[in-house]
């Protein structure tokens, strides 16, 4: 695989993304079944559609990805690190509009601050979601307004860290009496570590494979 450089600007990622868009396999779906072929298949569940924003903040010293920590009172994935996003409503015109709506509702980013580059194939989770990752570049002039009901914290992680396969680990846990494997990408050290894992890490891994694989 073609490993990205130490620092990645938003412009560099944009060029690479569009360069790979027409490649065979760019829009193929991914999912938890890839690491767990014996636990569940991609067609095992009646999947609910959701959309997330993989948003690159265009910082002068390299692009950062905006992530959130979900509050403990949510019904699914509570307390976990996530990309802004949620279920696709019937009023949403597309996965792109759903991702932009959710980003605005969760962290206050106005849609006009986001340049949508496109989206990848969907990611099918063992928890029953068909997630559509929407990739976009966020103008750093946005004002963060956290919805405290849904988001406990919002923070940034360098894109170069997330796109470095050396930071992609595989963990496991017991689920329904079976060992389930998942990606994890812990960012930081000690008490400040951000435990990026599960669905979010799986989507990030899929983006890495599509754009840099």
pTM: 0.93
Residue 181 lies in a domain: yes
Place of tokens 């989507």: 203
On whether the CB atoms of residues 112 and 88 are closer than 8 A, the answer is no
Rounded-to-integer distance, Cα 128 and Cα 121, Å: 16
Residue-number span of the structural domain to which 147 is assigned = 10-212
pLDDT at residue 89, rounded to an integer: 96
CATH of the domain at 27: 3.90.79.10
Residue 164 lies in a domain: yes
* Residue 40 included in any domain: yes
Q: How many CA atoms lie within 13 A of 40 on its CB side?
A: 21
| Domain assignment present for 143 | yes
Residue 133 domain-assigned (yes or no): yes
Say if 130 falls within a structural domain: yes
User: Closest Cα to residue 139, out of 113, 108, 173, 168?
Assistant: 113
pLDDT for 88: 97
Q: What are the pLDDT tens digits along the chain (213 aa)? A: 566 668 999 999 999 999 998 888 888 889 998 999 887 665 655 789 999 999 999 999 999 999 999 887 755 555 689 999 999 999 999 999 999 999 999 999 999 999 999 998 999 988 889 999 999 999 999 999 999 998 999 999 999 999 999 999 999 988 778 899 999 999 998 888 999 999 999 999 999 999 998
Domains in the chain: how many in total? 1
Rounded Cα distance, 24 and 14, in Å: 18
Question: Comparing C-alpha atoms, which of 52, 51, 66 is closest to residue 10?
Answer: 66
Question: Is position 5 within any domain?
Answer: no
Whether 173 is covered by a domain: the verdict is yes
Q: What pLDDT is attached to residue 25? A: 81
């Amino acid at each position: 695989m073609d490993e990205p450089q130490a620092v990645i600007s938003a412009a560099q990622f944009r060029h690479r993304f569009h360069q790979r868009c027409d490649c065979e396999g760019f829009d193929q779906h991914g999912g938890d079944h890839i690491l767990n072929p014996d636990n569940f298949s991609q067609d095992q569940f009646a999947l609910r559609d959701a959309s997330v924003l993989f948003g690159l903040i265009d910082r002068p010293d390299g692009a950062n990805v905006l992530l959130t920590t979900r509050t403990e009172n949510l019904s699914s994935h509570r307390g976990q690190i996530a990309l802004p996003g949620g279920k696709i409503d019937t009023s949403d015109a597309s996965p792109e509009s759903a991702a932009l709506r959710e980003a605005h509702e969760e962290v206050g980013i106005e849609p006009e601050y986001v340049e949508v580059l496109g989206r990848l194939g969907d990611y099918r989770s063992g928890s029953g979601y068909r997630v559509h990752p929407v990739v976009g570049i966020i103008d750093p002039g946005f004002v963060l307004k956290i919805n405290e009901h849904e988001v406990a914290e919002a923070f940034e992680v360098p894109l170069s860290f997330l796109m470095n396969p050396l930071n992609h680990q595989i963990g496991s846990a017991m689920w329904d009496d079976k060992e389930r494997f998942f990606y994890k990408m812990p960012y930081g050290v000690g008490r400040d570590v951000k435990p990026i894992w599960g669905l979010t890490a799986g989507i990030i891994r899929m983006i890495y494979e599509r754009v840099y694989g």
